[in-house]
Structure formats: C-alpha cells, structure tokens
Amino acid sequence: MAMDEHDYRFLCELAAQLRVDSVRASASAGSGHPTSSLSAAELMAVLLARHLRLDAGDPANPANDHLVFSKGHASPLLYAMLKAAGVVTDEELLTFRGRGRRLEGHPTPRVPFVDVATGSLGFGLPVGVGLALTGRKLDRLPYHVWVLCGDGELAEGSMWEAFEHAGHEGLANLTAIVDVNRLGQRGPTRHGWDLAAYARRIGAFGWHTIEIDGHDPGQIDYALSDARATRRRPTAIIARTCKGFGVPAVEDREGKHGKPLDDPEQAVAELGGPRRLTVQVNPPTIAGTPYAFGAGSLELPEYRVGERVATRTAFGAALAALGTADGAVVALDGEVADSTKLDAFAEAHPERFFECHIAEQQMTAAAIGMQARGWKPYAASFAAFLTRAYDFVRMAAVSRADICLVGSHGGVSIGEDGPSQMGLEDLAAFRAIHGSTVLYPCDANQTARLVADTAGLKGVRYLRTTRGETPVVYGPGERFPVGGCKVLRTGGHATVVAAGVTVHEALAAADLLEEDGVSITVIDAYSVKPLDSEELRTMATATGRVVTVEDHRPEGGLGDAVLAALAGAPVPVVKLGVSEMPGSATSQEQLEDAGIDRGAIRRAVLDMIRHSAPVGGLIA
Amino acid sequence: MAMDEHDYRFLCELAAQLRVDSVRASASAGSGHPTSSLSAAELMAVLLARHLRLDAGDPANPANDHLVFSKGHASPLLYAMLKAAGVVTDEELLTFRGRGRRLEGHPTPRVPFVDVATGSLGFGLPVGVGLALTGRKLDRLPYHVWVLCGDGELAEGSMWEAFEHAGHEGLANLTAIVDVNRLGQRGPTRHGWDLAAYARRIGAFGWHTIEIDGHDPGQIDYALSDARATRRRPTAIIARTCKGFGVPAVEDREGKHGKPLDDPEQAVAELGGPRRLTVQVNPPTIAGTPYAFGAGSLELPEYRVGERVATRTAFGAALAALGTADGAVVALDGEVADSTKLDAFAEAHPERFFECHIAEQQMTAAAIGMQARGWKPYAASFAAFLTRAYDFVRMAAVSRADICLVGSHGGVSIGEDGPSQMGLEDLAAFRAIHGSTVLYPCDANQTARLVADTAGLKGVRYLRTTRGETPVVYGPGERFPVGGCKVLRTGGHATVVAAGVTVHEALAAADLLEEDGVSITVIDAYSVKPLDSEELRTMATATGRVVTVEDHRPEGGLGDAVLAALAGAPVPVVKLGVSEMPGSATSQEQLEDAGIDRGAIRRAVLDMIRHSAPVGGLIA
C-alpha cells in the first residue's frame, strides 16, 4: 500500500484543512488550543485517510478501531477530523465550546467515536491500554487502538504504568503517536526535540519505537503501516513536530498555549484558506462479533447468621459467582488480590481476570477502557490505595463510565498495619464523584447481595469492604435496595446510624445500653450514597437524638451524609468518626482509641440523654 | 576504603542480626513483614556499618544522611537497624506494632531518623528526590539520600516520575537501592530476577545503574561506594535478593508475604541465634549549616476595593512577597505556573522555584521532602489535577508534614474548558485529610492575607483559587483569621453562606432580593475548615433560614461543613452545589446552569420564604 503522489498531495491538503478548521473552531469559540492542534495535523491526516479503520456511520460497530486523544486539549483537531469524515458538519464545528453543545473544550463521549473523556493529561494512554487489552483478551477482535499523546504528558507517572503494562503484555494492537512539539503549557518540556530520549525510555519498556518527522506524510505513512504490521510489541511513533506549525505568528513560540490566534483570518489565509475535502474512512476489514463468555445462573454464596466472615471474603466469593452468571463481568487487581479476595474470581474466571500489579491508575484506566466496549469491570485494591487513582475516578465520571471499584481494608479496624494502610478518606472522596453510588456492607450476605446488585447500576460504584471477620447479621435471602437502609433495632431514646464495621459496635452498644435502661434504634446505612433520607428522618424525629458512627474521618463520610439528610430537623446529632491519627494496635483497640467502638457509642448516647440538649443546641 | 576480611565477617554477622531481630519483632507483634525484611538485610547492614553518615545522637543534625524505606513494610528491618545503631533498645524493638508504641507497622516520623511515613508503595522514592533536591539546591549540604525500594513498587507510575525528575536534575546525591526479591504480595513481579529489565528502564531515565548480588556484602560495599562517588547522575543499585533469605521455610516462597513466621524460634536458630552487635555509625564528614536565603519585610500586594482581580493572580503576587519576607518559603509547579500564577514567585525567587513538569505526585512528594528539612513549600496546580496526588496528600498527613497546596481553576466558573479541568471534588477531598486547613478566598486582598497567614500553620493546608477576575470586596488592611468568617451583609430573612466565587453571586442575589423586599445575611466562609461554627449558628438562628452555595459538588464541601456546624439547629437549610455534569459554556453561564448563580440563590431564598417551611421540614 505504497503512497503515490496523488495521496501525498491529498494528505498535505487534508492536513492544511485540519489546521484551518482547528483555527476556525478556536476562533469561533474565543478560546481553545489551536497551536497544540496544528502540530499534529499531518499525523492525524495520514491516520484518518489511510490507516484508521472504522464504520463512519456506526460508532457502535464492534470492529471499529479506536482513537484516543490523550492530549485532549487538541480537541479542535479531533473535531476537524470528524468533520472531514462527515461525522459532524462545518456548522457544528463552529459551535465548539458553546453552551450545551457536544463539541466541548475537551472531548467527552457525547461526541461520536470518543470512548472516554480526556483533558487530564496522562489519562488517555492508560485507557488505550485498557481498550487494547479488551480487543486482545475480551472482544477478541482485530481492531487497533491509536492514541495521540503529547510530549509534556510523558512526565506523568500514569503514562509509564501504561507503557509498562502494554509492553509486558505485548499489545501489538496499540500504537502511541507522540506529538513532540517541544513546548508544554508554561515552557519547554524536559527533553525538547530529543526524540532519542523518548525512544530510549519507551523502548526500555518493551515497545517498538520509530522516530520520524511529524510533518512529513511519507514518514508518517510508513510509521503507521509499520505500527499496524508490528507483531508482539506495541509501537510508539515519536514524531518531531512544531507547535503552531504553519502559522508564523505562533510557530514554535512560547506563551501561545491554550489561546485562540490573535488574527485567525490571516492564519487561515497563510494556511491556504478553507478546503472542502472529505475523507472516506476505511471500513473495518472484517465484520466483527465480540467474543462472549458463557453465562449461567447466579448462585451467590450464603452464610449462616452468627457465622464470622470478612466482608472482603464474601465480596470475592460473590464476584466469582456473578462472573459465572454474567460473562461480561471482568475483574482487575492491583497486586493485592489475596487481600481484597479478588483471588476467588481469578481462580474461577482466569480469562477475565487482569493483574495490573501495583499501578492503581492503570488498573482504573483499564477498567474504564473495558466498559467503553460494554464489559462490566470490577477493580479492587485497598481503599487507601484507590486514592492513587482519584483523578481517574473523577475522569471516569466525566467519561460517563460504568465501573465498580472495590476498596478493602476500610478504616482503623484493619489493626496493626497502621494509618498508611487505612482507608479513612474514601467515603468522602467517592461521595463527591458525580453520579456515584457508595455502598458499605456490614456482613457477608449483605455484601454478596450488593455485589450482585451493583452489576446493574450505571456510573461509578464504590463498595467498601472490611479486613476483619464480622458476624453475619442477615439471612441469605434478604434484599438490600440501593438507597435503602435496615433498621436492626428499635428503641426510643436515640437513633444510632452506622455502616460496615460500626454496625456491630452499634449493636453491642445497644446491648450495653439495655443494661443502663436505655433503648436505641440502630440503623445500618449500607447505602451511604444514595442515603435513605426518608427513613433516617423518620427514626431521628421519633427518637429525638441521633449518633452517627463511622470508621472514617469525620468529614465528608456517613456523618455528613446523615446531616444532609436531616438538614433543618430539630434533632441533636453527635458525629463519631476517626478524628486523631491512629498508630498500630489491634482492631478492637483501634476502634476504642478512635472513639467509634461500643463504649464510645454508649457514652455518646448517655451524654445526650444526660444533657437533655435543648432543641437546637449543639452537641457535636 | 577497601573492605577487609574482618569487615566482611562483621557485615555477615550484622546482616544475620538484622534478620533475627526482624523475625523477633514480627513474632512479638504477631504480624508484620519479616520475609520482606530478610531479603534486604545485607543491603542495609553494609549501608549502616560502612556508608550511612549520621549523628546517631542527633536526628536533627542538618549534615545527616537520609534513609527512606520506600518499601515501608520492611519496617522490622529498619527498626533492627536502629537497634544496632543504639537508637532503640531491644526492649523497644519487641514493642513493634503495639498500641501507642512508636514502632508502628509502617514507619512514621514518630521514629528518630524517619523523615516521612511510608507504606503506600511508590511514595518513598519521590520523597527521596525531594530530599536530594533540598540537599543540592536549598540546604546546599553534601548529605546523601538513600532509598530502599521494593521491586514490586516499580510498577507505580510515581516511581517513574521520580526517576525522570532525579535523572534530569542529575541528582548524584541520591541512591535508590532496589531489593529485587522477585515476589510481590500476591505472586511474582513482572520481571522476576531479570535485573537487566530494571537496569534498562532506570538507565534510560539517566541513572547510573549497578546490578549486584544483594546478599554479597562485598558487591554491596562496592556498589554503595560507587553510588556515593558517582558524579552528575543518581545511582540505582539493582540487587538480586531472595525473599525470606536465610529461613528455609519461607525462602523464595509464594504466600509468605506480610505474615509472621510460623516458627520464629526455629528461624532464629537457623539464622545462628541472636547477636549483640552494635554499630558506630559513621558521623557526617563536615559540620553542616544549611544555606539560608535572605529575608526582608513582608509587603503584600494591595488591591483597591472594586478592582477586578483573579484570586490566582493575587496568590502569585502574595507568594512572591512572602518569599521575599521569608527565605524558607519555596514553590513547586506542575508545569502550569502561568495559569496558577506561581510564575510571579518563579520570577522573584528563581533559586527557590522548582519546575516539576506534569507530575503532580512528584511535585507533592518533593514538597514533603523539603518540609522534612524545615523548608516551607507551596505546591500549585489546577485543583482538578491535585487529585492525582491525593494518596500523597494523605501520606503527607501521616508524615505530619507541613505543606501548602494551592489549587487554581476551582469549580465550573472556569468556563469553556469543561469538566475535565474543573476542580469540583477538591474541598471534599481536602476536608477529609487529617489536620488539614481548607481556605477558599473570594477576593484579591483576602487571598494575599491568607497566603501570608498559611505560612505559620501546621499540617496540610489547601488554598483554592479562582480562574476568573472577581471584584475586590475587602480593603487591604483587613484580617481573615483561620477559623473565622466575614458577615458581608446583614438581613433578617435568610442567611446565605458562600465562599470564593459564589460570594459575589450571593452579594448580587442580596441586591436582587432587596428589590423583592427581602433582606439577607451574606456570610463569606473563606475558612471552610476550620469553619466558624459559632458565628454560623448565631446568624442561622437569627434569620431562621440558610442557603449554602458552592462551586463544588454538593457532597463533602462547604454545604456539608455548614450542616455539620448547624447540626440539630431547627433551621431549614438548602444546599446549592454542582449536581449535574457541566459541559462547555462561559463562566457566568456555567454558574447559571449549575444553579449556583445569583438567580438561583434568589430563587432558593424566595422559595424558602414562600413555603415557610415548618421547623424541621426538609427543604433541601
């Protein structure tokens, strides 16, 4: 498929059109990143016209190649490509960054052929790895994944998690196209135009690397052919380009990042004026049907009431069962599957289990890539270490991704390992994610049921599990609607709202208080978000006093969620949480030292009764 | 300094003692990571006895070398070293992981000579880079920084941010000792004993690499000498070791991670029994006085009331002024200093400005390393991108670190760039950090004053700034105590609590409501944590209705903080926040679409009045 002179001319013209349209779109918006678009125009022109394979009329065609703009700020270039391919009109192109318009400042899946939102640098390549893994191991289709990367974003560690993962897996269906335009946002990148510096690094991670002039369609065409043809290794095309190429006023100049051109009309003229080229994108070579794993019936594990089982153990067993029932369920591990108990899934469904090693960002991004192709990923690590991927969780929400993250070892109750291993901010972090569901079961049967129920939910779901064994409270048949809660005890003196490990402390406190002649209502708020506001208000109003107790920092977690539900209700609330820095100690000592154990709950209830707070008085 | 046979025998004996003590400590605790300690015993024995230079009697001696256990789970080995050096007693060694004891499951700065908490893998080396930068560019002392790394943690992207930063800076005063024991927590690492795979990667990032047998004191001694002697480049010693070395029951066996030995007595016997060796650690070669930058008087920028200035601009100017007043203030950038306006500091104090490129984890870790040596770091990026470093912020708190993080571009008010660039979860995330201070100024003079005041605070401080220009509300002389608030208007119908950009919307709403015959109290809650609960309760009770309004998700931010302050007060509260996924639009359109602009505030107040909610009725 050698390129003839006709092709060459066409590609140069197409690149010019992409430039012109990038400039026009940014000018019409009055903002945007035209210079970052100009540098990659030939790279994308050749890719679009000669190498990308997709059904321009059907973004959902499973055989389509995937294109991820990891340098998401070059969105004008992406939209110019879509215009050239006939996917968006010129009229729509000029709505760039307009209120309510889908051509946003950075790409999101509102735009056809965009799998994920980008714009947080270092995110697109890890997602591309996830898509390539999906093609190879799940869909089992020969589509290719192309990722346009910036040079500046190679400073992000997440990119190297991606290079390592893809290199080790030998993902030949993945190509990174690195637009080395030398200039970051503030100034020069570390390596400037030293293409070899990038090639050494990426090559050391097991990739095939090609260094080219990124403005020469011939070299680009060769490199893209070579990338598709290369076996056993992913390819990185490291392209020397010029930021702002083609427009003298901004070409290779600092201080021109992220701004529309001062004189877009002159720029368009210098670029030879608007063209009306269209590209017939090559269709996929085969009609593809994604591989489907067999599915059976759902047989969740069942536990006897009173038995002591860690919720993490129930999670692992339940996810394995869910995997048997639903062939679309897949699991990703951060090299702690023996702790999170994801190992149960790995044993049952090795083909759908992905070891991501200690790389929580890549793990999360791979999950996001998989759901973009319709798979149902569950990714698990310690709750504490999921904070590593918080930006990617945020970007999952912007990507409208449907993923489930599972954090084990929630709270101080993990015991001796100490604060570095304790998830104490996770409920706050996940509650703040748009459209998220936050679940925190207290026993094994509840965990199993919630694992099964999360499979049908949209958006980012977070399930928190506990390290230690806790007694089974609920029978196997019990249901736990998301957005519901369970009233485990009823009593008139106060309502204690707990979740997870503190449910058991609250029940023990109820027993202790019984001896004091005090009866309390105990609520298991397993659905932290959405919270069962109605039931909570009812019980709070009925008892006149509320204590919330959580194995989590006092800010942003269960206590704050309950306060939001009770806003304006004239009921005093005491919020118990982990307000000091823990050290090492046994699980029960930790709960005691943090003031969230049965004794602390008992004291809080008795204090409230003793002080008989006037309505509206602050007790917390 | 060649090693004679006496040394060799001593080092072998010392290594055996470190093993024995690691086994004993873990056995006494009943938990811990002895096998991960056993693999690195020779590495640490040779380092301690022959290469580490520190004043064992004075952890604060500025000339001391620094030792960071990036593989923090090998804490028994660290504590065994400290025992050998006479810093902790054998009695204390056996308190490992005990309640209230300082020898925690993973190291924290409660232990002498421990600069930072470790245990979240991938954190120690980036902090080591920060310490090495400090030695070279701030303290200007010849101390060496030694970092013991695990092989498993090389999967973390943060490690590669560190390799890149150190390699590019040529930090010859930094040595990474990689304990390649082949086994992670769950199973084999990606590269097993392929030392060359690590050497290729690390070498490609500009490091000097040495591959050795990590159980041969002679090779270790040579490598450590070579590392200290190497100029212009950091050194990575890549040591082939055996997990559980010396104890046949666990040696090189899977499933033995993070567990005390089944038969510690036999293991101690196999290791030749306890020894009573002590090590006279070599003192620093020179008495060191850290470099001090000149200091002058504090002349904060001042702005006229009514002038329109972005708070990010005031931040940059104020930090530059603070840097002039206090020579200990340093600044770190994530390659967005032109946006965060940290550029003002870079221009004024180039020697104390650190460009970390797009690597927020390394930026944060470097700040943590710098504060460990007494410097006062301010690290800034977009609020959205600081979420990349959330685990490191959490570890900063466990490290008792005093750092200030500044997040610009808070909220939807950034406008057209869209949701990937919007900090919408930052207030929740930072509120949940232990001991944190969260500030969100609304005008330039307030920002400048808060920048100056944060310099004296402990712990993690977070300052959120706004992209767009906002009118100056306060005169230059005004003070803003942390934990306080400002009552900008007083009116009897409702209290509106705002912060940052929404303060201006609230003031505009007050004007609109005036026309409706309604007067409101407007509170500027610039100190989100700690919040001025007392004043808020007073005003809320006086007005009987509260509206909170924030450019942030409804969960975990200002609204939840206010609800916590008002807990139990019979005052209805409506919480306005960003509850939908924004797209692109102008700043004012975004505020309107999110329902947090003047119109939305006005409607919320009028609705509350109209419905005259019964006390306790839910309005939110």
Confirm whether A297 is domain-assigned: no
Question: Which residue in A343, A336, A383, A338 sits closest to A358, CA to CA?
Answer: A336
Q: For residue B599, give the nearest of B460, B483, B484, B506 by alpha carbon.
A: B506
* pLDDT tens track for A72-85: 999 999 999 999 99
**pLDDT of amino acid B568:** 84
Report ipTM for this prediction. 0.97
The full length of chain B comes to: 620
Asked if A417 and B119 come within 8 Å (Cβ–Cβ), the reply is yes
- Entry pTM: 0.98
* A497 and A463, same domain (yes or no): no
3-state SS, B268-287, equals HHHCCCCCCCCCCCECCCCC
Query: For the segment B142-189, what is each residue's pLDDT rounded down to a tens digit?
Result: 999 999 999 999 999 999 999 999 999 999 999 999 999 999 999 999
Same domain, A138 and A206: yes
pLDDT confidence of residue B617: 37
Q: Which of A104, A360, A425, A505 is flagged as catalytic?
A: A360
Are A186 and B355 within 8 A, CB to CB? yes
B158, B168, B572 ranked by CB distance to A190: nearest: B168
Q: What is the pLDDT of residue A4?
A: 78
Asked if the model's pLDDT at residue B614 lies above 70, the reply is no
Chain A residues with CB inside 8 Å of B203's CB? 204
Domain end marker among B410, B441, B471: B471
Is residue B284 one of the residues assigned to a domain? no
Residue ranges of E strands in B214-365: 235-240, 308-310, 329-333, 353-355
Q: Are residues B466 and B506 in the same domain?
A: no
CATH number at residue B597: 3.40.50.920
Q: Which of A471, A496, A515 is the last residue of a domain?
A: A471
Residues of A in contact with B395 (CB under 8 A): 420
Same structural domain, A238 and A339: no
Which among B97, B335, B394 is the nearest to A387, CB-wise? B394
* Cα–Cα distance, B105 to A416 (Å, whole number): 6
Cα A185 to Cα B385: distance, rounded to the nearest angstrom: 14
Alpha-carbon distance of A403 to A380, in angstroms, equals 11
Residue A396 C-beta-side C-alpha neighbours within 13 Å: 34
Report the DSSP beta bridge partners of residue B75.
none
Give the tokens for residue A587.
């699980």
Residue B612's pLDDT band, with cuts at 50, 70 and 90, is: low
- Domain of A146? 5-56+64-270
Instruction: Give the pLDDT score at A371.
Output: 98
Which residue has tokens 């079961």?
Answer: A441
Tell me how far apart the alpha carbons of residues B160 and B168 are, in angstroms, rounded to a whole number.
12
Annotation marks residue B535 as catalytic: no
> Can you tell me the mean pLDDT for A29-33?
96
Per-residue model confidence (pLDDT) at position A379: 98
Same-domain status, A365 and A438: yes
In terms of domains, do B179 and B227 share one? yes
Last residue of a domain, one of A471, A503, A537: A471
Residue B50: what pLDDT? 96
CA-to-CA distance for A590 and A303, rounded, in angstroms?
Answer: 27
CB within 8 Å: A553 and B434: yes
H/E/C letters for each residue in B481-495?
CCCCCEEEECCCCEE
CB nearest A335 (choices: B184, B557, B620): B184
Residue at A282 is within a domain: no
pLDDT band with cut points at 50, 70 and 90 for residue A612: low
Q: Which residue has the tokens 């204090």?
A: A607
User: Do A448 and A586 lie in a common domain?
Assistant: no
The pLDDT value given to residue A288: 81
Determine, yes or no, domain membership for B109: yes
Average pLDDT along chain B: 96
A293 assigned to some structural domain: no
The residue among B64, B219, B200 whose CA lies nearest residue B143 is: B64
Alpha carbons A306 and B376: distance in angstroms, whole number: 53
Please state at what angle helix A5-29 crosses helix A217-229, rounded to 10 degrees. Answer: 100
Residue B516 tokens read as 């409706």
CB A35 within 8 A of CB A257: yes
Count of A–B CB contacts within 8 Å? 392
Looking at the structure, do residues A459 and A492 belong to the same domain, yes or no?
no
Task: Assess whether B580 and B438 both reside in one domain.
Answer: no
> Is position B478 within any domain?
no
Residue range A574-598: mean pLDDT, rounded:
98
Per-residue pLDDT tens digits for A236-275: 999 999 999 999 999 999 999 999 999 999 999 999 999 9
Q: Is the pLDDT reported for residue B268 higher than 70? A: yes
pLDDT at A614 over 60: no
Whole-number pLDDT of residue A620: 36
Strand order in the sheet with B486-489: B486-489, B520-524, B494-498, B546-549, B573-576
Give the residue among A338, A428, A409, A120 at the shortest CA–CA distance from B120. A409
* Residue A501 structure tokens: 């490990």
Q: Is A503 exposed, middle or buried (0-12, 13-18, 19+ CB in 10 A)?
A: buried
What is d(CA B274, CA B211) in angstroms, rounded to the nearest whole number?
31
- Which residue, among B108, B55, B64, B63, has the nearest Cα to B85 in the 3D structure? B55
Averaged pLDDT, A536-560: 97
B320 and B424 co-located in one domain: yes
Question: Are residues A211 and A335 located together in one domain of the fold?
Answer: no
* pLDDT over 70 at A615, yes or no: no
Count up the domains in chain B and report the number.
3
Q: Residue B376, SS3?
A: strand
Q: What is the DSSP letter of A284?
A: P
pLDDT band at residue A405, thresholds of 50, 70 and 90? very high
pLDDT digits (tens, 9 = 90+) for A90-136: 999 999 999 999 999 999 999 999 999 999 999 999 999 999 999 99
- Residue B81 resides in a domain: yes
Within 10 Å of residue B264's Cβ, how many Cβ atoms? Answer: 18
Report residue A594: phi and psi, to 5°: -80, -10
Residue B476 counted as domain residue: no
Mutate to test the interface with A, among B563, B608, B619 (most CBs of A within 10 A): B563
Q: Residues A248, A138: one domain?
A: yes
Strands A520-524 and A546-549: unpaired
Domain of residue A215, CATH code: 3.40.50.970
Q: Give the three-state DSSP class for B614.
A: coil
| SS3 state of residue A491 | coil
Residue A68: phi and psi, rounded to 5, are -115, 125
> Is pLDDT above 90 for B286?
no
Would you say A172 and A145 are in contact if contact means Cβ atoms under 8 Å apart? no
- Residues A552-556 have a mean pLDDT of 98
User: Which residues on A lie below 8 Å from B604 (Cβ)?
Assistant: none
* Residue whose token pair is 């000018």: A27
Q: What is the pLDDT of residues A192-215, one digit of tens each?
A: 999 999 999 999 999 999 999 999
Strand partners, A357: none
